[in-house]
Amino acid sequence: MEISTLTTYHCLAFVWYFFVAYSITHIRTEERPSEVFLYGGQWKYLTVLNLFVSISFWTLYTYNRELVYPKSLDGVIPLWLNHAMHTAVLPFAVLEILATPHRYPAKQKGLILLGFVAFLYISWVLWIYSVTGEWVYPLFALFSPAGLVAFFACSLAIIVSFYNFGEFLNRMIWGDSIVVLDYRRKGK
C-alpha cells in the first residue's frame, strides 16, 4: 500500500477512535444509570481503553447481555455508539493487518509485555471493586475468588492466542517483506 494511502488510513482510524472516545465522555450525566460510570468513569471499561474487543463482547452479549452491557444502557448510549465501540473495530483491525506489515518483538518479550498489560488491567478492575464494592462487569459477580482467577487465566490464554494468531497472519500475508524493509533501512 502506498505511504500516502496508509497515512490517510491511519489518520482516519485515529480520528474515528478519538471521536468515539469523545462521544463516550459526552454522554449527559443526568441520563446515566446510577450503576454506570461510577469510580473510574468510562476508563474502567476495556472497550474504551482498547477498542479491539469485538469478539469477546459480542460472544458474551449474545450469551447474556446483562453480563457485559445491561439493558439500562440502551437509553443512554446510542446504538451507533455501541456498534462504533464493539463492531466497527473488527474491520479496522483486519484492514490494519492487510494494509501494512508489522514487526513483532521476540516472542518472549511480546508475551511478557502482553501479560504485563493484562495484569495492569486486572489490577485496575480489582482496585475499582475494592473501592466501590461493585464489579466493572456484572459477569464478575457470578464467580467465586477461585472462579475469577480461572476466568482471568482463561482470558489471558485467549489473548495470547489472538496475539499468536495476529503474528501468524502477519507472517502469512507479508512473509519476509518485514526483513526486506529492515534491510533497506539499514542500507540508507
Residues 6+ apart with CB under 8 A from 69: 57, 61, 82
Q: Are 61 and 17 in contact (CB under 8 A)?
A: no
Which residue type occupies 174?
Answer: W
- Alpha carbons 186 and 188: distance in angstroms, whole number: 6
Residues 6+ apart with CB under 8 A from 33: 70, 72, 73, 76
Point out the residues of the chain with pLDDT beneath 50: 34, 36, 48-49, 51, 180-181, 183
Q: Where are the domains of the chain?
A: 1-100, 102-188
Q: What is the pLDDT of residue 106?
A: 93
Q: What is the pLDDT of residue 177?
A: 61
Q: pTM for the complete prediction?
A: 0.69
Q: What is the pLDDT of residue 111?
A: 94
Q: Are 163 and 110 in contact (CB under 8 A)?
A: yes
- Alpha carbons 92 and 80: distance in angstroms, whole number: 16
